[in-house]
Amino acid sequence: MMKLVIYMPALNEEKSIQQVISYLPQELKRIDCIQYLVVDDGSTDNTAALALASGAQVVSHGRNRGVGAAFQSAIQFALENDADILVSIDADGQFDSADIPAMIDPIIDNKMDMVVGNRFSSGKPEYMPATKYWGNQKMTQLIGSVGGQNFQDVSCGFRAYGREALFRLNIFAEFTYTHETILAMVFQGLRVMEYPIRIKYFPDRKSRVAGSISRYALQTSGIILRVLLDYRPLRVFGGIAFICLVSGAAFILFLLGYFFFTNTFTPYKNSGFIGLGFIIFGMLVLIIALIADMLNRLRLNQDRLLYELKRTRYKK
């Protein structure tokens, strides 16, 4: 039996939650069971009660913990309820639930493990703030460079995850999860694709996740750095070590060259000490890189163990 869970993170969405749930598909081809889930992330209004009245199941956090924490709760719920596919969609009515069938088809056909909604296939959506669009483009370029796969939209919350992806996702960030999940999937060798979706922005609505561009950039950069350290430590520390060693060698070679032509180190004697300092620091960072690479192998083994434990615990 193929089961689909459609999940919505919600924070004070009493004005839209019932309408969004009413628009969700009640039946789909090749899907035997559809279950709605609302993760109430600390709402102070009637979001949870209205969601329950509309036929959704509700998981309440009691306080606002962030969409990353809400997603962790959704993964847990999906696995505990034997879901084959988890779809995440916002509770404010921005996305068109009619795109769900096309997003889950590649997963049902076992062609993809994760499908990400692409809001920008036709450029900037109407009413989307220019600064937010610019920030999304820069973040997409960064994620593409880090992950080695081209994307157009890495921040969209409208996504579909297969069961294999749910087993392999070990998310720690509470602020947001969108970038961490893509990198984690790519680094673990899972298949990720984008699908062009329809979206409508409301002119007066302010994003609760990216309300402050500087805070959003700082938080997401920290998440990306942590994922890089988890999965590509040699790339981070090795790069730093390489820069230090090359810089140190350049200072030393300059000093030796000057000595060769003048038979004296004066007045560039300090270049030797600076170069030596760079080389020593570079060697220390290189040692850290090798240790981090060893810890990375432990992390990969931990991911494999968690994967096997999840498969065993949530075996259908």
Counting other chains too, the contacts that 121-127 makes at CB distance below 8 Å and 24 or more residues apart are 121/152, 121/196, 122/196, 125/199, 125/200, 125/201, 126/200, 126/201, 127/200, 127/201, 127/202, 127/203
Same domain, yes or no, for 221 and 268? no
Which residue among 213, 231, 249 closes a domain? 231
The pLDDT value given to residue 180? 81
Which residue among 231, 248, 268 closes a domain? 231
Same domain, yes or no, for 43 and 156? yes
| Domains contained in the chain, number | 2
Same domain, yes or no, for 201 and 80? yes
Same domain, yes or no, for 163 and 266? no
Report yes or no: 66 and 72 within 8 Å, Cβ to Cβ.
no
Same domain, yes or no, for 157 and 264? no
Same domain, yes or no, for 118 and 225? yes
- CA-nearest of 98, 81, 77, 80 to 89 is 98
Same domain, yes or no, for 288 and 159? no
CATH number for the domain spanning 174: value is 3.90.550.10
Give the H or E element holding residue 25. Answer: none
The pLDDT value given to residue 265? 87
Same domain, yes or no, for 173 and 94? yes
Strand 159-162: give its sheet, edge to edge.
Answer: 57-60, 33-40, 3-10, 85-88, 159-162, 114-118, 192-196
Same domain, yes or no, for 176 and 306? no
Same domain, yes or no, for 169 and 85? yes
Which residue among 202, 231, 260 closes a domain? 231
Domain that holds residue 276: 233-313
C-beta neighbour count of 296 within 10 angstroms: 16
Three-state DSSP class for 182?
A: helix
What is the rounded CA–CA span in Å between residue 206 and residue 68? 19
Same domain, yes or no, for 208 and 288? no
Same domain, yes or no, for 148 and 292? no
Report yes or no: 84 and 63 within 8 Å, Cβ to Cβ.
no
pLDDT, one tens digit for every residue, the chain (316 residues): 899 999 999 999 999 999 999 999 999 999 999 999 999 999 999 999 999 999 999 999 989 888 888 999 999 999 999 999 999 999 888 999 999 999 999 999 999 999 999 999 888 988 888 878 887 888 888 888 878 899 999 989 999 999 999 999 887 665 567 888 998 898 888 999 999 999 988 776 555 554 556 666 676 666 667 667 767 788 888 889 999 999 999 999 999 998 888 988 888 889 989 999 999 999 999 998 888 888 878 877 888 888 888 988 888 7
